[in-house]
Amino acid sequence: MCRFMSHAPVLTAHPLAPLDADEIRCATAAVLAGADDARVISCARREPDKAAYLAWRDGDDPARRAPAREALVVLSRAAGVEECVVALAAAAIVSRRLVPGARSPITPEDYEAAAACVLEDERVVRALRERGVEDLGLVQIDVLPSGALGHALEAEHRFGRAVAYLKKDPLDNAYARPIEHLIAFVDLDARVVLAVEEGERRSIPAADGDYRAGVVAPREDLRPFSVTQPEGVSFTVERGEVRWHRWTFVPAIDPQEGLVLHDVRYDGRSVLHRGSCAEMIVPYGEPDPMHNWRTYFDAGEYGLGASMNSLELGCDCLGEITYLDAWLSDQRGEPVRIANAICLHEEDAGVLWKHTDHATGHVEVRRGRRFVVNAMATVGNYEYAFRWYLGLDGTIEVEVQLHGIVSTIAVGGDRPPRGSNPIDEGLAAPHHQHLFCFRLDLDVDGVANTVHEVQAASLPAGPDNPLGNAFGPVVTALRTEREARRSADQHASRVWTVSGRRTNALGRPTAYRLVPGHGTATLLADPDSSVGRRAGFARHTLWVTPYRDEERFPAGAYPYARAEPDGLPVWSTDRPLEGEDVVLWYTIGVTHFVRPEDWPIMPMTKAGFSLEPVGFFDRNPTLDIPPAAGGCRHSERG
């Protein structure tokens, strides 16, 4: 029995709830005993076997036991990456194995140590002085993944490429002044500079990118805006499970994926067993040699969980908010708390439904509201908010909001940047993409599901269509993995339905459909390029695979500097899908040609998709939503 667990939090937590501080201490202490060379990369809940979990969740034996809680601790060791499973109740190691060929991501400690050692390196300091930079306190170092481009250092080292920016004061926006064509190659394990590469020198731009309060005079014509719920909120959080309206689910922060929603059910009926952004990449399109290697796998190479913000009431979130903390591990195995990592609240959602009877003037109108689950990550120059909205009508919307500061390149020298847009004096911003792959383990009324593509088409004119104006849906079963690699086609109103074995009152299978929203770009890089090979998942908007416990990350669990394809393009062969436990992999894609309005800080951009019930209910499930308190006075018009 683990000595840290005297107050036994595991006895009360939901089987899918994330680890707390005591559990992290317990798990890391077990695996670090006698492993002096080890650094902890992550420590998280090892999710129970799906079948065992569902047997417990759907079972009717009141004495049934929840699946035992286990932790997965990932270590960086001299011999490589090691995965250790710990049974928490006994503090016992269940298994440990080295993962062949895996390299660990850039942890927060790696990042900090790498940035510090760059500014202590004589070659870097000399190169900065030669460019007129004397005050190192004003230099910002960004540590970026190496990529997998066949660099001579790749075979022997896990390294990052460090680039430099010059600020005018310590809190200034560094991206206004990139110090071009100076790259330090940093060994992330030894934490030393391996090499310094210099290219064409360009003058440091004179641009000003300061956007801070106090620097910009605030406008004075906005009056306060507040959201109140005087009788309290309509949701509860107990043992890690959220209940709102007919919905239940368990939210969590995973070190790699960030926000995860587990076991999302409506009225007890299963809809989504697990949903998360399982990988995201940001490939750049600027061919300049200082920039052409830039591609970030923000989940697999940094960790979206490790990058989570502590959200603040009144700033990040408005209204009656309930926050959940996240617990991660530092490299020594000590728990790290991210306070207020997940924000839960209700939002007004406009009119849910309305009709004015034109004959009588009678009006019925109901206000909608939605439940918001939000978490936000800062990864380098960008912020990403991952927002899930649950609707009264059974709809689940997923929205990614993009914030932050664009990556920049100094303009000048012999060759002006060819893959960038100008944004300020001597400054441009490279074209790039943001591709977010959501892993959606849909279980619509049970695990056995079938996926169809539905799109609109005109019917040929003829005896059955004498006026030539008829049209209808064309429904195609996606029977195998190969048939299920699809792109979006909004011209054809293309959607994908996932149906179960249950039938509705009309005798049709109950279903949900995945409806693309804004952001349907796919990867633009050549399929044979390095990023094309490493991020093959992003070449299609949709993939469907049969559920496998181990198939979690679309570019593989350890994409750092991995040159060979991994993840979806490797697992996905041509396995059958009909009536299987299917997993949908949907990539939201944004291609960003930077606008002047995106500088010096971007106004929010959003992209997403929705999951909508289609015959999951027999009719509009919201007829019983009560009218607004106090009633409406439409009918009294003269």
By CB under 5 A, residue 57 contacts Cu ion: no
| CA-wise closest residue to 266 among 394, 105, 370 | 394
Report in angstroms the alpha-carbon separations of 183 from 71, 130, 194, 205, 617: 38, 15, 11, 18, 58
Q: How far is CA 37 from the centre of its chain?
A: 32
Tell me how far, at minimum, the Cβ of 183 lies from Cu ion, in Å. Answer: 22
**Separation between Cα atoms, residue 405 and residue 599, nearest integer Å:** 7
Nearer to Cu ion, 161 or 592 (CB): 592
Tell me how far, at minimum, the Cβ of 535 lies from Cu ion, in Å. Answer: 16
Tell me how far, at minimum, the Cβ of 602 lies from Cu ion, in Å. Answer: 7
Coarse DSSP helix, strand, coil percentages of the chain, rounded to the nearest 5 percent: 15, 40, 45
Strand order in the sheet with 409-410: 409-410, 427-430, 420-424
What is the SS3 assignment for 432? strand
By CB under 5 A, residue 494 contacts Cu ion: no
Tell me how far, at minimum, the Cβ of 284 lies from Cu ion, in Å. Answer: 10
526: annotated active-site residue: no
Greatest C-alpha distance within the chain: 84
What is the SS3 assignment for 113? helix
**Separation between Cα atoms, residue 372 and residue 374, nearest integer Å:** 6
Structure tokens at 622: 């919201």
Nearer to Cu ion, 401 or 504 (CB): 401
Query: Of residues 266, 382, 384, 560, which has the active-site annotation?
Result: 382
382: annotated active-site residue: yes
Residues 543 to 562: which contact Cu ion by CB under 5 A? none
Contacts with Cu ion, 576-595, as mask; x by CB under 5 A:
----------------x---
Report yes or no: 562 and 556 within 8 Å, Cβ to Cβ.
yes
Instruction: Give the single-character DSSP code of 565.
Output: -
Which strand (E) or helix (H) includes residue 118?
Answer: helix 108-118
State in Å, rounded, how far the first CA of the chain is from the last one: 76
CA dihedral sign, ordered 402, 403, 407, 410: positive
Tell me how far, at minimum, the Cβ of 539 lies from Cu ion, in Å. Answer: 20
By CB under 5 A, residue 291 contacts Cu ion: no
Nearer to Cu ion, 435 or 515 (CB): 435
Tell me how far, at minimum, the Cβ of 434 lies from Cu ion, in Å. Answer: 6
Total number of residues that touch Cu ion (CB under 5 A): 1
Contacts with Cu ion, 590-619, as mask; x by CB under 5 A:
--x---------------------------
Nearer to Cu ion, 494 or 592 (CB): 592
Nearer to Cu ion, 310 or 401 (CB): 401
Tell me how far, at minimum, the Cβ of 593 lies from Cu ion, in Å. Answer: 9
Amino acid identity at 196: V
CA dihedral sign, ordered 75, 80, 83, 86: negative
Residue nearest to Cu ion (CB): 592
Query: Of residues 298, 443, 445, 598, which has the active-site annotation?
Result: 298
Nearer to Cu ion, 401 or 455 (CB): 401
Report yes or no: 154 and 182 within 8 Å, Cβ to Cβ.
no
Nearer to Cu ion, 67 or 430 (CB): 430
Binding region for Cu ion (CB under 5 A): 592
Residues noted as catalytic: 298, 382
